[in-house]
Structure 1
Amino acid sequence: MPRRRPSAVRAATPVRVRPSRHPRPRPRIGRISAGCAADIRRLEHRRFSPGDTDSVFRYWAALAHGPLAHLTRDVDACGIAGCGCDPGYFRDHLEQVLHALPTRSARELRALLHDLDAVILRRARVLPYSSPDVPWWKEWF
């Protein structure tokens, strides 16, 4: 009887995958390093809810690349944080995350935010301006 190839033996054995006892949600923000993702995960464990930074970043990216009407319409904020009617809340949350992260991770995330901010500012064309102490997204939204 001929001997079976090792690949045939391995193919016949079932793969055993152990479920993690403590599944950790990983930030799915694109183009960030594993170290930055770990820092965001630790920060969310201490200060925010898991996955908050990812959802807020995705909202800000959708605002930057979405329809121009979303950038130019008048926004009536209802006062509920995170409901989606006040885009400035999302940018404020990202700013809090940037200030709480270690320097290297904050620099990496700030570079991604800078690109999105540039897209929003380029598409908006006109921004109200009142004070250099107030961030642009608080004046605009």
Structure 2
Amino acid sequence: MPRRRPHALRSALHARRPSRPRHPAIDRLSGSCHAAIARLERESLWPGAVFEAFHRWKAFAHGPQRNLTDIPVAGCSIPECCGAPDADRDVLEAALHRLPRKPALELRVLVSVLDETVLARAVVIPGHPSDQRWWRNW
């Protein structure tokens, strides 16, 4: 019996769906936490939103500035252009409130370490209204 040619075999297979782009994992988070974040991004954010916001917030926390008093927070309101650390922190806060309890706790531990680093370098003005988040008050 003659052997089938590879193209004949491939044509008989079903068409493959293109795979979703995968984002690198956030260090020290469990697989179930990554799955919950991916589910949240599919349902209410965009793919990679939490990963991108976390890594930009981490880069901001460990950035070269000695103190954060002279950084324009608003910029041009395009995070990819001027960098808007307050927008990144808003995405993380939204994710922390929308995730289930255990994944939110895992992510909150990592974000709180970065928050402490930012607060050590920022000047937070306590006289602002309490409805604003602390990362918008420097």
Does TM-score exceed 0.5, indicating one fold? Answer: yes
Looking at structure 2, the residues matched to 84 and 49 of structure 1 have their Cα atoms a distance apart, in angstroms, of: 20
Q: Which residue of 2 aligns with 1:92?
A: 90
Determine whether 1:112 maps to 2:110. yes
Give the direction of change, closer, same or farther, for the CA distance of 1:70–1:52 in structure 2 (3 Å limit). farther
Letter in 2 for 1:135: R
- What amino acid does structure 1 have at the position aligned with 2:55? R
**Which residue of structure 1 lines up, in the alignment, with residue 12 of structure 2?**
none
Distance 1:36 1:20, change over 3 A: farther
What SS does structure 1 have at the residue aligned with 2:29?
coil
**72 and 94 in structure 1: CA distance in 2 versus 1, 3 angstrom threshold:** same
Could you state the TM-score of these two structures normalised by the residue count of structure 2?
Answer: 0.76
Specify the code of the residue in structure 2 equivalent to 1:98.
Answer: L
Structure 2 residues not aligned, in runs of 5+: 1-15
Match of 1:128 in 2: 125
Alignment identity in percent? Answer: 40
SS at match of 2:137: helix
Tell me if 1:72 matches 2:66.
Answer: no
Asked if structure 2 preserves the Cα contact closer than 8 Å seen for 1:60 and 1:91, the reply is yes
Contact 1:25/1:41 (<8 A) preserved:
no
Aligned-pair distance for 1:133?
A: 2.7
Distance change in 2, residues 1:23/1:77 (3 Å)? closer
Q: In 2, are the aligned partners of 1:27 and 1:40 still within 8 Å (CA)?
A: no
Q: Which runs of 5+ in 1 are unaligned?
A: 1-18
